[in-house]
Amino acid sequence: MVGVRIVCVGKLKETYFKQAAAEYEKMLGGFCALETAEVAPAPLGENPSPREIEAALLREAQGIAKKIPAATVCAVLCSEGEALSSGQFSDWLAGNIARGHGHFTFVIGGSNGLAERLKSDAALRLSMGPMTFPHRLARVMLLEQLYRAFSIAAGGKYHK
């Protein structure tokens, strides 16, 4: 079975996000072995400078890197990434699986994004589109799109 790990900066605190994530995690169980790893956000003051933000992103990147397995296809969610349709995302996932890749890691940064080195090392920079979303919602959206991608690849009726 394909393995999927989602590495996130921060925890889901809101009940409604937890419930939505749990529902998609349950649905994904038929398609992959899913796990989530959370990394604590680096603390920042009230009005951090760009240099302080960059230093915080580097500290978070160290924690994230420890959660990324060696033999994985890594994708990061970032605003400057590629906005794929659901079908294109399914094709990307299925194509990697067909080439023998059995494990995927998706990285979601915190409210300040991700360190450049994480983005440059990724096999895919993925954008949810030009709008800005809270990173907690991005986790739920990613879970839904993973379920949709696996469903499309399996010929399911979820995607219309």
Identify the DSSP state of 38. Answer: E
Question: Nearest CA to 6 among 61, 98, 68?
Answer: 68
* Cα–Cα nearest to 142, from 2, 21, 15, 16: 21
- Angle between helix 15-28 and helix 135-153 axes, rounded to 10 deg: 20
Stated pTM of the model: 0.95
CATH code of 2-42+51-153, in short, is: 3.40.1280.10
Separation CA 63–CA 72 (nearest Å) = 17
- Residue 114's pLDDT band, with cuts at 50, 70 and 90, is very high
pLDDT score, position 158: 83
For 3-13, the pLDDT digits (tens) are: 999 999 999 99
- pLDDT over 80 at 159, yes or no: no
Strand partners, 5: 35, 105
pLDDT for residue 59: 97
